[in-house]
Amino acid sequence: MARIWLSRLVLGGLLLLAPFTLVACAADSSSRQLGCSAASTPCLSGSATVALQTSKGEVQLQLDGGAAPLTAGNFVDLVKRGIYNGTVFHRVVREPVPFVVQGGDPGSADPKVPASQYGLGSYVDPVSGEARLIPLEIKRSDEPEPRYGEPVTAPGVTRQLALAHQRGAVAMARSADPNSASAQFYVALQALPELDGRYAVFGRVSKGMEVIDQIRQGDKIIKATVVAGGTLVQGKP
């Protein structure tokens, strides 16, 4: 019961409760039109390793461009732009059971932004002046391409996901709109199957999970860098 209750918490303002009555969407052409072929943001070709230098130590993330090319590509692009440098882990939920560590709000790196506003921000493109939002991206292991735009939650289907919410999974936070992920992300502190198919997992912690376990609300990402891979392409990889 505790885990179900926690899964319904708002995660720092961007990870919101998704109704538990949603059904799987069809992998139709409208879904595919939201993918890499139509995206204005870059997609990740292959894999990438990202190092997060945090105030508690180094964490390495292994990102999967095969199962989540658009989501992983967005993250790598923001890393290369320096967007995560100086940002705060503004939401850490460990009680009554371990849940998530969340951060990545670009506004949290600005000393003029009050802590009460952390978790409300997105990445704003400096050219257009508009928030960059990416669609929900979920890949089933029995399908060649990800599905986009709507949660995939039909009974039994979530067991076929290529990337699931295991301990150490890295996923995007978003609002109630499935297509509102931007920069904020979270790390699962334990398996969270109730979130599978509702939020886009795009990688995992490959090194430093013991550091994640030590992070508390207010700790920072000092610097994020791509240390391996990270090839970005425009269009389908």
Structural domains in the chain plus CATH codes: 2-231 (2.40.100.10)
Q: What pLDDT, on a 0 to 100 scale, did the predictor assign at position 13?
A: 41
| pLDDT on residue 157 | 85
Given this model, what pLDDT does residue 229 score?
98
Q: What pLDDT is stored for residue 77 in this prediction?
A: 98
| pLDDT confidence of residue 154 | 87
**pLDDT at res. 33:** 73
Structure tokens at 141: 């292991």
pTM of the full structure: 0.89
What pLDDT score was predicted for residue 21? 26
Q: How confident is the model at residue 17, as a pLDDT?
A: 36
Residues with pLDDT less than 50, the chain: 1-14, 16-30
pLDDT at 32: 52
